[in-house]
Amino acid sequence: MGWAIALHGGAGDIPFSLPPERRQPREEALRHCLQIGVGALQANMPPLDVVELVVRELEDIPHFNAGRGSVLTNKGTVEMEASIMDGRTKKCGAVSGLRTVVNAISLARLVMEKTPHIYLGFDGAEEYAKEQGVETVDSSHFITAENVERLQHAKEASIVEIDYSTHPLQNGTKKVAPIAANGDCQLGTVGCVAVDSKGNLASATSTGGLVNKMVGRIGDSPIIGAGTYANDHCAVSATGKGEAIIRGTVARDVAAMMEFKGVSLMEAADCVVHERTPKGTVGLVAVSAAGEVAMSYNTTGMFRACATEDGYSEVAIWPAS
């Protein structure tokens, strides 16, 4: 036993040919966020605070699809959503449809701790944010040139993409992003799970959603049991195709398998990802009360990082070859 932490920056069809100038900043960012999380756990910060801290950091980094760097709706706007869960108490908080809140995960936490509710969305959530005095900025802060291009590309191809990470244009020629047969390019969402040496668990997930999504579309990230879950067995944060994660109640299922079938974290994670959810749609990070880590995905890759108290740490995108 001991503490453990895992975080992700999205699972999807991340091509092996991802150019260094797009790969390295993301790897650096994952390393940076991991260090922040590890430092916090070493300083005995409660896991709930750790996951919020790390996800705030991931939201602020424009390379991932959350906070700044969120993908755009079909109207070219951002609508961000997030959820957080404290495994010890099973209290949870969630938000959707945010346009100006700099850190969605922190607003989710406030909903959990300061309101009689669990989940606030859209105008009501924005109003609450203003009441609470959380940091808000003009919506344009979240929009990156990369995502404007992605939306353009998606509209031209008339597809709703989760995201893609290849450079859309090279040398002036239009390069078609590698898309799976079902028309989805998959990358998106950030998340973090953590456990301390006493077995207290927490999970947090945040996202901008799907490229070219309908305004008002809610995905799995703010849905407890789908994108986020934590109890006294494990903490899970999922990423991928929201609709598949919702119907698969992915995060809850990992915990349910551990609890009801008595399987290990790794077995539960692998089973849910590889046997119970369609290929190419999901990835997740999870930690158990005993300090184990699992990072499973059935997509080409998943931006991820993890560390455990015994000194192990890893930053990766694709499977170890």
Partner 1 sequence: MGGWAIAVHGGAGVDPNLPLERQEEAKQLLTRCLNLGISALRSNLPAIDVVELVVRELETDPLFNSGRGSALTEKGTVEMEASIMDGPQRRCGAVSGLTTVKNPISLARLVMDKSPHSYLAFSGAEHFARQQGVEVVDNEYFITPDNVGMLKLAKEANTILFDYRIPTSGYETCGSGVESPLQMNGLPISVYAPETVGCVVVDREGRCAAATSTGGLMNKMTGRIGDSPLIGAGTYACNVCGVSCTGEGEAIIRGTLAREVAAVMEYKGLGLQQAVDFVIKHRLDEGKAGLIAVSNTGEVAYGFNCNGLFRGCATEDGFMEVGIWE
Asked if 233 interacts with partner 1 (CB under 8 A), we say: no
Asked if 51 interacts with partner 1 (CB under 8 A), we say: no
> Out of 100, 147, 189, 249, which residue is the one contacting partner 1 (CB under 8 A)?
249
- At 162, the amino acid letter reads I
Query: Which class for 94: exposed (0-12), middle (13-18), buried (19 or more C-beta within 10 A)?
Result: buried
Closest by alpha carbon to 244, among 214, 285, 278? 278
Asked if 128 interacts with partner 1 (CB under 8 A), we say: yes
Asked if 242 interacts with partner 1 (CB under 8 A), we say: yes
> Out of 97, 188, 208, 240, which residue is the one contacting partner 1 (CB under 8 A)?
97
Has 189 been annotated as catalytic?
yes
The mark string for 250-279 relative to partner 1 (x by CB under 8 A, - otherwise) is --xx--xx--xx------------------
277, 248 contact by CB (below 8 A): yes
241 is in an annotated binding site: yes
Cβ 318 to partner 1, closest distance in Å?
Answer: 28
239 is in an annotated binding site: yes
Element (H, E) at 133: none
- At 59, the amino acid letter reads E
Closest by alpha carbon to 229, among 221, 237, 239? 237
What is d(CA 291, CA 77) in angstroms, rounded to the nearest whole number?
40
Catalytic residue from among 189, 205, 277, 308: 189
> Out of 9, 191, 225, 291, which residue is the one contacting partner 1 (CB under 8 A)?
225
Cα angle value 59/65/67 (rounded, 5°): 35
Asked if 94 interacts with partner 1 (CB under 8 A), we say: yes
Asked if 228 interacts with partner 1 (CB under 8 A), we say: no
Instruction: Return the residues of window 147-186 that contact partner 1 according to CB under 8 A.
Output: 160
Q: Which residues contact 59 (CB under 8 A, 6 or more apart)?
A: 66, 67, 68, 102, 103, 104, 105, 190, 206
Strand, coil or helix: what is 207?
Answer: strand
Q: Strands 91-98, 119-121: parallel, antiparallel or unpaired by DSSP?
A: parallel
Strand, coil or helix: what is 257?
Answer: helix
Asked if 32 interacts with partner 1 (CB under 8 A), we say: no
Question: Which residue positions form the known binding site?
Answer: 217-220, 239-242
Question: Which residue positions form the known binding site for substrate?
Answer: 217-220, 239-242
For binding to partner 1 (CB under 8 A), which residues are involved? 90-92, 94, 96-97, 115-125, 127-128, 160, 210, 213-219, 223-226, 229, 242-243, 246-249, 252-253, 256-257, 260-261
Which positions are catalytic? 189
